[in-house]
A and B are shown apart, each in its own frame.
Chain A
Amino acid sequence: MDLIDGTFSHKPGPNRLGPCLLGTAILETVQKLNLSLPASNELFRNPTMATVSNFTLSHTLFKRLNEMSHAMGINSWKSDEVCYNCSADPNILRDDDYTDFFHLNPVECNEFLMQRPAFSEHMSYAPAKEVYNAVEHIY
């Protein structure tokens, strides 16, 4: 817990799932499930699931959903708590005084962005040195 001059009270919270269910996961769902999206006019006339998805059984859909992995792992979200009430005594703080906030590790986010295949053709890297059979290769 950080207590700086009694103005800032912060404590790490339990590692639980944030309310953010990763928009990235939704996008990957659309990509992996190969949903056939009809024209908006057709969807407007007959807005049933049959016009949106190729799946006829909900079991098949949920089975494919369970097989999916989230982009950065659902457990990578961390939650911390912070106190906004400046009139509260920093030594005696109740649970109501804390407000949750959720965050990821920015280093992992940077790694995730570096590994995006969409960027591979548009990035310029410094040469990579690798050694195979005592011979140094530069790529």
Chain B
Amino acid sequence: MTVTASTAMAAAWSNTCSSFGSGDQTHLHNQSGDRNHWQVCLSFGNIHSWIGSKTSNLAIVTVALLPVSPKYRLKCHGKLYTVNEHQIHNREVLRKIFEVIFRPLNPYFNADRLILCADGRMRQCYPVICACTADYLESSHLNLIKRPHCPVCEAL
């Protein structure tokens, strides 16, 4: 990618708002069916943990409440094949949902946005998500990886 002189000048006065996402599935209760809750959060990555983890600072924002895919209990011939087909479909749907949720960030990869900062000044910022933390279950869902393969490297 070539960076023109004007873009380089603009970038010198710009801030990168490097946020990181996180998410996990939480089991709520068993009484009324298996109720799960899956939220995706956003926070800043370059903040001390003792500031970010303090709840009164509101350092973590819930971005989305994802739908939890239904469980299929099939009692028919070719059950395994059907369940696998559903699992692949559910993972693909989840990936598309993330695409829908984070689509508003796409224009800001190349263009900046004027954002009012905490010190009261307007700055040119690039809101990007630089990292995402998830446990192994979510990683395998999001990266469409067959378990028990590694979501980071190519090792089996």
A→B interface (CB under 8 Å): 2, 4, 7-8, 10, 18-20, 22-24, 27-28, 30-31, 71-72, 80, 82-84, 86, 99-107, 109-120, 122-123, 125-130, 139
Contacts and interface: CB of A to CB of B under 8 A. Distances in A.
Interface of A is mostly: mixed
Nearest to B107: A107
Given A107-B104, A119-B51, A82 B65 contact: no
B10 to A, nearest CB: 11
Contacts, number: 154
A94 to B, nearest CB: 15
Given A106-B104, A116-B118, A84 B58 contact: no
Contact of A116 (B46, B57, B65, B102): B57
Interface of B is mostly: mixed
B123 interface: yes
Contacts of A100: 67
15 contacts: A10-B97, A101-B64, A101-B65, A102-B65, A104-B64, A106-B127, A106-B129, A111-B127, A114-B125, A120-B119, A123-B47, A123-B117, A127-B13, A130-B121, A139-B121
Contacts of A8: 92-93, 96
Given A20-B65, A100-B67, A114-B117, A106 B89 contact: no
